[in-house]
A and B are shown apart, each in its own frame.
Chain A
Amino acid sequence: MSLAAVMPPQVGQKPDPGMRPVISFHGVSKTYPNGTEAIRDVDLAIYQGDFCFVVGASGSGKTTLVRLLIREEVASTGRIFVDGQETTRMTRRRLPKLRRKFGIVFQDYKLLTKLTVAQNVAFALQVTKPGQRHLKEKVEETLWIVGLEDKLDTFPDELSGGEQQRVAIARALVHRPRIFLADEPTGNLDPDTSWGIVQLLLQINHRGTTVLMATHNREIVDLCRRRVIAIDSGRVVRDEVEGGYLREGEATI
């Protein structure tokens, strides 16, 4: 089975001028109860089919940005829209529907060690779409996309870090989300394995899924030459359509 058969149809990489963003931030700030200002006055627009790197040093606000998107955190001020819906004032009842628009992976994989690879992936469908038909086929298709079709009955502890992250990606992908969020997905991986994961994300994006990847992996960002949103001390300091980890000519130690 080809990848095209199981992924959403590809949409244009460059947004039309009148196109509505799939994600937008309008003057968003987030201050934690202890007074820490994690995000300050952020304005952003991300379009369907974008592949964005969110870069910045540790503690710059990348993870807060991701958590605000899925409403794990609530913005202190400003408005956030996902797929045309304002999430900042969304009731708890509507959060599950919002979160089903996303596929999310983290640096620490968050796999259930007592379940097999196939069961981990199926778990996402069991809790979001109970009783779904052809569950087994959908799980197998998704594991084929991430290249783990031969690891169905393996337990996470028996896999390498890269393979575990692929399982996490499969779990995030199995319900066919519109937006894929990856928070430091290569943080625990060696360079070769990291590149494999990024290639998989590029492949997912190539078929039309919007991908937002928070990272501080300079090499990957420089190699991909995709949209780069740089955050420093909670502020968006740079937003380039095809950028590198650092601004042109910017020096680093």
Chain B
Amino acid sequence: MRGLLASVRFALVAAGQNFTRNLAVSLAGVFTMGLIMLLVGGTLLLTHTVDAILAQQETQADEIHIYLQDSLSMRTIADYELRFSHDSRVNGVAFTSKDQAVVAAQQRGLQLQPAINTLGTNPLPASIDLHVRTLGDLSQLNTVAKALPIVDTSSGSATDYSPGVIPRLQSVITVTVWVGSALSVVLAVISLVIIMNTIRTAVYIRRTEIEIMKLVGAGDWFVRWPFILEGVFGGVLAAAIGATAVAVAYRFVLSQANTQAFLGVTFDGRYLTAMVLLLLAFGAVLGGFGSFLGVRRFLHA
């Protein structure tokens, strides 16, 4: 036990000395790896966010909003609601008034008040919202709805039906996942090479010490541990730098996306925490493994 504690203490002190004696190279390695971690973390978050947008779109996929003219009476609207409720393709019918449309838009982050103040009236139309039984019926119902005399054509679109959105989003997420995964693998390999070279420099600086350790009979692991700890420390530090940058960027980009593009994507704190922990673990493993490989060649020389 006493020997083990002394070995651990020796390894920790030596790892600290390695890092500080080799400070410029160590920091250069850490910051380069930090940048790579930022890219890996950014890719993960981007994939997750695109996934969230797709999921949100999919929940709205079975719905079609038929925009109504402003001059319609409530009775006319009720007649059409009843007509749609008897259609076998329709699962549910709801009415959204102009005021309710404003509230819904504001919930999605859209600021309408300035427009209302300028125009002096609410520009959003009321709508009859249909939920279909199967997605395949959407196209037919859209055709039927567009031909109705009650629809508002002033905004250029009588309904919000957009047939290509889901497949397009699916192809976007597929490409994002593939590019993200390939990029992460390439970046991980680059990180490994950076760590290996940093450790090789540290090994070179301490070559006399290592030679003496080997000559007096220190085991391979006794020689190896300080370098592995140094690699783990560097990897975790790089991951912490990358993860902090990603977390800050995530909040900023999300708020911009919601106010500028009205995406309505919510901040996912749990995913961000999981990603930070994953990056830290990834940095530690990558750093330790890179060091193991870096010192291996020297030990076997």
Contact = CB atoms under 8 A, between A and B. Distances in A.
Contacts of B2: 131, 133
Max chain B C-beta neighbours (<10 A), residue from A104, A112, A126, A127: A127
A100 B217 CA distance: 5
A155 interface: no
B216 A131 contact: no
Nearest to A128: B217
Interface residues of A, number: 26
A235 interface: no
B218 A127 contact: yes
A130 B10 contact: yes
A97 interface: yes
Nearest to A127: B218
A184 to B, nearest CB: 15
B265 to A, nearest CB: 54
B10 A126 contact: yes
A98 B222 CA distance: 16
A134 interface: no
A104 B2 CA distance: 27
Contacts of B217: 95-100, 102, 127-128, 175
Interface in B180-230: 208-209, 211-220, 222
Contacts of A95: 217
B215 A104 contact: yes
Interface in B222-242: 222
Contacts of A130: 3-4, 6-7, 10, 222
A129 to B, nearest CB: 7
B218 A128 contact: yes
Nearest to A92: B220
B74 interface: no
Contact of B208 (A93, A96, A112, A132): A112
Interface of A: 70, 92-93, 95-100, 102, 104, 110, 112, 123-124, 126-133, 171-172, 175
Given A97-B217, A171-B216, 10 more contacts: A93-B220, A96-B219, A110-B215, A127-B218, A128-B218, A130-B3, A130-B222, A132-B3, A171-B212, A172-B216
30 contacts: A70-B215, A93-B219, A93-B220, A95-B217, A96-B217, A96-B219, A97-B217, A100-B216, A100-B217, A104-B215, A110-B211, A110-B212, A112-B208, A112-B209, A112-B212, A123-B212, A126-B6, A127-B216, A127-B217, A128-B216, A128-B217, A130-B10, A130-B222, A131-B2, A131-B3, A131-B5, A131-B6, A132-B3, A171-B216, A172-B216
